[in-house]
Amino acid sequence: MNKVLHFIIFILRICIISSLLIFVNAFEDIGSSTSMLILGAALAVFIAKKFNNQKFSNKFFILLNLALPILTYIIFYLLNLIPFKIDSNYTLNLAIIENHSFNFLGIFQISLISSYFYYKYFNYIYVEMIAGTCFFLSLLSGHRNYRFDLMNIVSDLAWYLKLEQLTTVILIGASFFIVVFVYLFLSSLPQRFKKDSEKFYSGNPIVSYSLGGTCLLCIFFFLCQSLYNFHYKEVQTKIKNGVSDEAKEGVSPLNFHSGLGGSSQATAVVRLEGDYKSNPYSPLLYFRETAVSNLIENQLVIASPDFNPDVNNTSPLSYFEQKNDFNYNYREPLNQSIFLLTDHKIAFSVDYPINIVELENKNERFKSVYRAYAMAPTFNLNDLKNIEFGNPNWNMETKEHFLKEHPDLRYKELAEKLTKNNPEKFSKIKTILNYLTKKSIYTLQPGHESELQGDPVAPYLFGDMRGYCVHFAHATTYMFRALGIPARVATGYMSDLSQSKDGHILLRMNDRHAWAEAYIKNLGWIVFDIQPEQVESHAETPVDADLLEELIDMIDPGQELIPEDAGKDEVGLKDKAIDYNISKSFLLYFIIIAFLLILLINSILLNLYKLVGNKERKLKLFYTVNLLKLQAFNKKREDGQSFKSFLSQVSNKSFDDIDVLDKIYFNPNYKLESINSIELDKLIKNENKKFKDTIKAIQKNSFIKFIKLFFMYINPSTSIKILKRKV
């Protein structure tokens, strides 16, 4: 039972270290083969177990661990100093091997030290648990504040398991806890640290642990469920930012709790079916989802569809057709295929959608696919002259609707103050936009929480000017209206076309945007967005090109509209991979180095007894070394043969303390108390001389003697025999 338990723990330990390595490698490429590192870790666990059986002192163990990297460093330093170059890629190859060696050594030593203490002390498991937890939590800390999208592992796993990201994160946490618990449970089984004198009595462990385990699992499942429910609400409010909310009349999908688009989670891929070169906002592209224009008290909410007939407010799964007659001056048709990656309650498209049709979804990765045929603007505002605002066809109610001013008179005061020198409305717009662009400070956390019940825009505009797009859009709208310009706040996505690929645009949570729109006669609703010059916190992150490429590959290739020469730009862009093929001569050279390394290690170990402080260990090491030397001359001790009889058989000399050695060997608890350290050194010196004489007597030819001893020095098993101290 004990052997099985130890074996399970041994395997589990290797598995945990291996999974940690794989995990770390997934986050940050270590630069060496994972299997090689796992091998190093497994080897270290094995050696640590053996070390523990040998009862090495902690001091010796620490010294050994300090010596290893220093030794490796010295070797590579010396190799770098070698003046001749046996290979043209010598330096590169050496650097690669050095890198691999240090990676291997690092993992080996971490594993060795942790495993050594794990096998030695019961409470060490808790140190390991705490360290492991901190390490694991720091690895996965990217998901904090519900930024699941920042963790590729979460997105990939959620994608693979077809689960929500929140569920996936909880699943990762639960798996981690279960592994920790099982490991803790097995490591703390009373059998593991039972002393020989202690008696252990156990009832039926299978029944008992099954019952206990089931109870714990039920409690754990309940905890996970509660945790999910608790975080689910937060995720809904903080992460989705209204993306999945329905556009209900009288409510605003926008909120002022946190900045829109706090995460870079991919939400949709838009494929523009054709060039859109005359985009007036280039390189930006605005996808409108809905608009809020109804001012109730101090907040803009979704108005009746009659006021905003250009806004579809329909689900991506339902058919939409524009029935109103619009003046499509300065607009051109633009077809867009939209592949949704997350649930959207409202379909969005570039500007005036004419119709929206659901398409067949051929890939499970996409939640739904639709095509929007829209009339996209092509005008240049700077070219337009005699701009008039408002639609002459609007009735009074609509006119009032879009001109309804904010009850807070400060908006009007500010707007008038800013634009008093501008007689023209269009220049007034420019002045307001300039003012906001220069004065506003972009931040996702403006810290105006205390104003939640009141007007959330006032603390921004009349306060510290800190805010995000929702604040800017509302402030712009309120001031436009104060100046008699019909305005509304539109919400949807804003994307940078420079990050698109072959007409494919990846939309993400942090592309969610709100902007102000004003109605210009004969042009319709025009975007008036600001980009503050001062930025306190920036949510913008570059588009994940790999993800976009992966998603492009998933889109039905039959519908691809990629120009034939599109691939040309990519030629030569691939990173030049380092040639890892090491030449044969270098391998040969490396084998020689390996032999030298073994020679060095063996030389150190063969003289280690001179450094050891413990008297018994010193004596035992000394005799081991000399017996090994005798073994090199085919003088081998029989199994179970006492050293006294062996040495009397080999040599005619009398070895004084050989009785003591027999006692030390056969009784590990034997203490050498009859002799002090100085006397021991003297004794060792004398005995050494006798051993030398014996070897001389055995082999008179000094050349053969040298060869035989040399082979002992380059034999890797010499180190193992010395460490095991069994000859």
Judged by CB under 8 A, which stretch of 179-187, 474-482, 629-637, 713-721 contacts other proteins? 179-187
Tell me how far CA of residue 692 lies from CA of 578, 678, 700, in angstroms: 53, 21, 11
User: Which stretch in 163-171, 343-351, 439-447, 649-657 sits in contact with other proteins by CB under 8 A?
Assistant: 163-171
Residue 227 binds other proteins (CB under 8 A): yes
Q: Closer to other proteins at the Cβ: 103 or 255?
A: 255
176 binds other proteins (CB under 8 A): yes
Cis? peptide before 716, omega within 30° of 0: no
Q: Which stretch binds other proteins (CB under 8 A): 15-23, 168-176, 377-385, 640-648?
A: 168-176
**One residue of 205, 250, 563, 613 binding other proteins per CB under 8 A:** 205
Interface with other proteins in residues 563-622 (CB under 8 A):
none
| List 209, 319, 666, 706, residue binding other proteins (CB under 8 A) | 209
* Shortest Å, Cβ 20 to other proteins: 15
* Using rule CB under 8 A, residue 661 touches other proteins: no
Distances (CA, A) of 603 to 482, 595, 718: 90, 12, 10
Minimal CA–CA distance to 403: which of 294, 248, 282, 322? 294
- What does the alpha-carbon distance between residue 453 and residue 451 come to, in Å, rounded to a whole number? 6
Give me the residues paired with residue 491 across strands: 290, 514
What does 536-562 look like in DSSP terms, one character per residue? SS-------HHHHHHHHHHS-GGG---
Residue 194 in contact with other proteins, rule: CB under 8 A: yes
**Residues from 675 through 694 that contact other proteins (CB under 8 A):** 676
- On whether the CB atoms of residues 624 and 686 are closer than 8 A, the answer is no
Q: Are the CB atoms for 420 and 435 separated by under 8 Å?
A: no
Question: Got the DSSP string for 37-48?
Answer: HHHHHHHHHHHH
Closer by beta carbon to other proteins, 223 or else 545: 223
173 near other proteins, judged by CB under 8 A: yes
Smaller CB distance to other proteins: residue 43 or 216?
Answer: 216
Regarding 184 and contact with other proteins (CB under 8 A), the answer is yes
Of the pair 176, 307, the CB lying nearest other proteins is at 176
- Please tell me the distance from the alpha carbon of residue 398 to that of residue 307, in angstroms, as a whole number: 6
- Is residue 630 within 8 Å of 697, Cβ to Cβ? no
Q: Which residues contact 345 (CB under 8 A, 6 or more apart)?
A: 243, 244, 245, 246, 247, 315
Q: Any contact of residue 231 with other proteins (CB under 8 A)?
A: yes
Choosing from 7, 121, 135, 200, the residue that interacts with other proteins (CB under 8 A) is 200
Do you know the residue count of the chain? 727
Closest distance to other proteins from the beta carbon of 638 (Å): 25
Rounded distance between C-alpha atoms, residue 531 and residue 468, angstroms = 10
Instruction: Report in angstroms how near the CB of residue 57 gets to other proteins at its nearest.
Output: 24
Q: Any idea which residue has 């829109």 for tokens?
A: 260
Smallest gap from Cβ 236 to other proteins, in A, equals 13
Asked if residue 26 binds other proteins (CB under 8 A), the reply is no
- Contact pick of 58, 145, 649, 717 for other proteins (by CB under 8 A): 145
Nearest-angstrom CA–CA distance, 625 and 709: 12
Alpha carbon distance 566, 336 (integer Å)? 20
Q: Are 664 and 616 in contact (CB under 8 A)?
A: yes
With H, G, I as helix, E, B as strand and everything else as coil, classify residue 632. helix
- Residue 172 makes contact with other proteins by CB under 8 A: yes
Is 204 near other proteins (CB under 8 A)?
A: yes
Helix (H, G, I), strand (E, B) or coil at 338: strand
CB-based contacts of 638: which residues, under 8 Å, 6+ apart? 646
Our CB check for other proteins shows the closer of 43 and 182 to be 182
Closer of 12 and 43 to other proteins (Cβ): 12
- Strand pairing category for 320-321 and 352-359: antiparallel
Choose which of 126, 135, 706, 710 interacts with other proteins (CB under 8 A): 126
Write down the least CB distance from residue 73 to other proteins, Å: 35
Q: Does the protein bind other proteins through residue 137 (CB under 8 A)?
A: yes
Q: Least distance to other proteins from the beta carbon of 659, Å?
A: 10
Q: Is 203 in the site for other proteins (CB under 8 A)?
A: yes
Q: How far apart are the first and last CA of the chain?
A: 31
Nearest CB to other proteins, comparing residues 172 and 523: 172
Question: Around 161, how many Cα atoms within 13 Å sit in the side-chain half-sphere?
Answer: 15
Query: Out of 3, 197, 423, 570, which residue is the one contacting other proteins (CB under 8 A)?
Result: 197
Residue 240 lies near other proteins (rule: CB under 8 A): no
Please, which residue, 2 or 427, has the CB nearer to other proteins?
Answer: 2
Among 190, 558, 572, 640, binds other proteins (CB under 8 A): 190
Angle at 203 between CA 202 and CA 205, to 5 degrees: 85
Give contact residues for other proteins (rule: CB under 8 A). Answer: 122-123, 126, 130, 133, 136-137, 140-141, 143-146, 166, 169-170, 172-174, 176-177, 181, 184-185, 188-190, 194-195, 197-205, 207-209, 211-213, 216, 219-220, 223-224, 227, 231, 234, 673-674, 676
